[in-house]
Structure 1
Amino acid sequence: MEVIMGDIIELEYGGVREWASHSGHLPATLQEGILRYLDKGIPPGHFLTAVITNNLFDAVSHADKNSLEALPDIVKFFYNHTPSSCWGSEEKMLKWQRSATGGLSHV
């Protein structure tokens, strides 16, 4: 279930912005990429792709300072607040992106 408030999508699990405001550890530069990926299956940048596909080496290699500091919190967010079908491997990510559901917007 989702509620659209303006251009901010708040998902049943609390939404990226709400979670970020409480944790204080999610760089603003990553929030839109996470939202687009979760909601529509739109591919994120290299760093988030590496995180989502469980590739620690690539995640660390592509992270800027803020993203690297936020890495544990980003992983916790995906693990605790998103469907396991959208993260964990390249296959899961590709299936999430290619599915007829188009991400959470059609779950």
Structure 2
Amino acid sequence: MSATHAWGQIPEHLRGGLARYLIFGVRTGSALQAFLENDLLRFVHCANDDTLAALRPMTQFIYNYTPRGCFGRDGVTDSWQSLSLGARVVSLRNADCGPAFDAMCADAGESIPSAMLAADYVIGTMEARDGL
């Protein structure tokens, strides 16, 4: 399964929030945040039936196509959110989710102006290289 296909398997009502988190570092809703923090009990408690049904496609996409630094326990999501836009973009593009990046931007409801990426690219590349 390709990254783009896996992204498309995530229900539409979750893709926007997940894309905004992955690209722009925006905090998600409670169920999605619990999912990203590997807190299954809180995820099940907070999720509605449609979100619960999305557990498998979300897990497959996050585990197989995103950088390990964007999900997990012990402040990992806070660290991801504190990265610059450039660092998140470089990390996502270097991970296997690169081919799904354009679809993620569309689902985030925002575009990333090329000038912003160019200005932030050098910093992001350095942060991603250094594991920040």
TM bucket (normalised to shorter chain) is: 0.7 to 0.9
- Return the structure number with greater relative CO, CA threshold 8 A, min gap 6: 2
Shift of 1:102: 6.0
Aligned pair count? Answer: 90
Q: State percent identity of aligned pairs.
A: 30
Q: Is the 8 A contact 1:86 1:92 kept in 2?
A: yes
Match of 1:89 among 73, 84, 87: 73
CA deviation vs aligned residue, 1:53-78 (integer Å, no higher than 9, x gap): 00001100111111101112211211
> C-alpha root-mean-square deviation of aligned residues, in Å?
2.0
User: What TM-score do you get using the length of structure 1 for normalisation?
Assistant: 0.73
> In the aligned structure 1, how far is the partner of 2:14 from the partner of 2:29?
9
Q: Which residue of structure 1 aligns with residue 83 of structure 2?
A: 99
> In the aligned structure 2, how far is the partner of 1:103 from the partner of 1:62?
30
Q: Is the 8 A contact 2:23 2:85 kept in 1?
A: no
Q: Is the 8 A contact 2:34 2:42 kept in 1?
A: yes
Q: Would you identify which runs of 4 or more consecutive aligned residues in structure 1 move more than 4 Å?
A: none
Q: Which residue of structure 2 aligns with residue 66 of structure 1?
A: 50
Within a 5 Å distance, the mapping from 1:26-65 to structure 2 comes to 26-65=10-49
Match of 2:60 among 53, 69, 76: 76
User: What TM-score do you get using the length of structure 2 for normalisation?
Assistant: 0.60
More strand, by proportion: 1
Flag the structure with larger Rg.
2
> In the aligned structure 1, how far is the partner of 2:78 from the partner of 2:50?
26
Unaligned residue ranges in structure 2 (runs of 5+) = 92-132
